A and B are shown apart, each in its own frame.
Chain A
Amino acid sequence: MNAFAASARHEALNIRRSRTAHILLWVFVGMVLVSSLIGWITNRTVTGVFDRIRAEGLTSQPNPFTGVSPLTYERNTVIYVLLIGALMAVVLGAQASLRDRKSGTSALVLSRPVGTASRLLGQLAGIGAVLGVVLGGSVGASWVVLGIIDAAPLGPEHTLRLLAFAALSWVLLMAFAVLGMLTGLVSRSETTALLVSFVLWSAIAFVVPQLGTAARPVTLLGPVPHPAATGGWFDAVAAVTGPLAVTEQYKRAAGVLLQDRNAQAGDWTGALVVAAALLILVLVLAVTPRRRLRRPLDE
């Protein structure tokens, strides 16, 4: 087994044994299931009320859920990926690069015929495998619940869209994991590394999008970004910060995949920005100097 594969396997094993990671993973899966449950309850409640008022002859309008893509019930999952998922990924990333520095095993690892890039990218692959399993499990659960809501299994197109959404979420979470790894490598202490990770996460998830959508800050918590005010200062700021607001771009791409009514079908700019962010971060990680892995923590 080469260093890349050994590091990937080892990282996945360490995450499996880490209590913090377990808590975050279960919270995430739980929230995704809750998201589907909320969708199911909403559908049942609205349809129940609609059926009653139609039976009483109070409306002749069609059921508001008629013609709505079953995937729209997944909208809340977009928010959970951004909030809990991204936080989980950042913590997993920081823990990965802090582990060797904390336990003194970095000297053992680096005294073996192991390339820096192989080691770091292997660790990232291990995190990626865990995130893949978590997202796969979440998508599987969503597929079942959405089938229950619609009283029929999802068709091939919707299933593919759901899988594409999971893939998009995986790319975003991997970018956050790399960010966590990088902060873990450059920080002098474990506390600083986790603190910096949280600050970066909140800046990317909240501050940068705030600059781009400042006219309607509440939209930050909406699954699909509301367009910034047109014209004037806000528009100018949004034009500059928009592409940098990776989380907003993720919401935009997720909206397209989940067939949100507000999203522009065929607009893949968001997905490209998210993929580009991951690519750039992976390149930065791959060229990390060897001495960074070795530096012991101050505490």
Chain B
Amino acid sequence: MTAAIATERLTRVFGPVTAVDGLDLEVAEGEIFGLLGHNGAGKTTTVNMLTTLLPPTGGGASICGRSITADAAGVRRSIGYLPENVRFYDNLTLGENLRFFAELSGIRRPEGRIREVLRLLDFEGPYGQRVGTFSKGMRQRVGIAQAILHEPKVLFLDEPTSGLDPEGVRTLRETIVRLNREFGITVFMNTHLLTEVTKTCTSIGILRAGRLIHSSSLAETLAAFPDEESLEAVYFRLESQPVP
């Protein structure tokens, strides 16, 4: 299987702090990859580099074979991105917000594609409503909609379930799994919710202080620790091991 995401010694330094330290990672096409780690472990910095928002200070990475530094525009055409706590343009309607992102992505007939995506997400009702009136869960669905408008091959989600109620979490989980299974979109998500990782992800990686301390399929990870009853227990066990 070819790699949808591949990093090689990917590094980002902010002054005296090394946020991401020589990250070597591969995510195969069609995977739902969960990047785990405590706050400040370097998860968001990693996503920011992979989405070309932040240039690396060392090493490199490629998305669908395109370098994030040499072909940033090509990478941007291949990815969809939903950052944490995005608010969108409150004064504009759902349709107007999505139309803007569709036009930015160069979609020729945005209206048709927007309707199609909203149908897919079962979210057509509030088309003409201002986004400022939306709940957190509805905003996350706007976020998913804008991220898949241009039919990306890889979807990056930064803490997608942050602040959602249980119903919102379940809806989002089902959407992610559906996008992955029906459309073959590779998903890379940062998250804290280990129960969601168990229900959604096919492979995981654990970052600690900017270094990748574990990367494997979810099934292999759980099988490697038969005495642990949950991913949470495995996570804390891996976290407590010394950095290689």
Give A contacts to B, CB under 8 Å.
1-3, 5-7, 9-10, 13-14, 17-18, 99, 103-105, 107-114, 294
Contacts of A110 in B (CB 8 A): 52-53
Q: Does B91 contact A111, Cβ atoms closer than 8 Å?
A: no
- A113 partner, pick from B91, B96, B105, beta carbons under 8 A: B105
- A103 partner, pick from B86, B96, B104, B110, beta carbons under 8 A: B86
A-B contact pairs, 11 of them (CB 8 A): A6-B103, A10-B100, A13-B92, A14-B92, A99-B89, A103-B87, A104-B86, A105-B89, A107-B48, A108-B86, A112-B105
A1-B146 contact in complex given A105-B86, A108-B101, C-beta closer than 8 Å: no
Contacts of B76 in A (CB 8 A): 111-114
- B91 partner, pick from A5, A9, A17, A114, beta carbons under 8 A: A17
Closest to A104 in B: B86
> Is residue B106 contacting chain A, with contact meaning CB distance below 8 A?
yes
Contacts of B92 in A (CB 8 A): 13-14, 17
> Is residue B111 contacting chain A, with contact meaning CB distance below 8 A?
no
Min distance, Cβ B61 to any Cβ of chain A, angstroms: 15
Residue total for B at the interface (Cβ-Cβ under 8 A): 27
Contacts of A1 in B (CB 8 A): 103, 106, 110
Closest to B103 in A: A6
Q: Does B101 contact A112, Cβ atoms closer than 8 Å?
A: yes
Complex formed: what's the CA distance from A14 to B99 in Å? 13
* Count of CB-CB pairs between chains A and B under 8 Å: 70
Q: Does B53 contact A294, Cβ atoms closer than 8 Å?
A: yes
Complex formed: what's the CA distance from A22 to B85 in Å? 29
Contacts of B94 in A (CB 8 A): none
> Is residue B81 contacting chain A, with contact meaning CB distance below 8 A?
yes
Complex formed: what's the CA distance from A6 to B149 in Å? 15
Complex formed: what's the CA distance from A113 to B52 in Å? 10
A111-B73 contact in complex given A6-B104, A18-B91, A103-B87, C-beta closer than 8 Å: no
Min distance, Cβ B130 to any Cβ of chain A, angstroms: 8
Contacts of A111 in B (CB 8 A): 51-53, 76, 79, 81
Complex formed: what's the CA distance from A60 to B81 in Å? 80
Contacts of B90 in A (CB 8 A): 103
- B103 partner, pick from A5, A104, A105, A108, beta carbons under 8 A: A5
| Residue from A3, A17, A99 having most chain B Cβ neighbours under 10 A | A17
Min distance, Cβ B57 to any Cβ of chain A, angstroms: 13
A108-B105 contact in complex given A14-B89, A14-B91, A14-B92, C-beta closer than 8 Å: no
Min distance, Cβ B188 to any Cβ of chain A, angstroms: 13
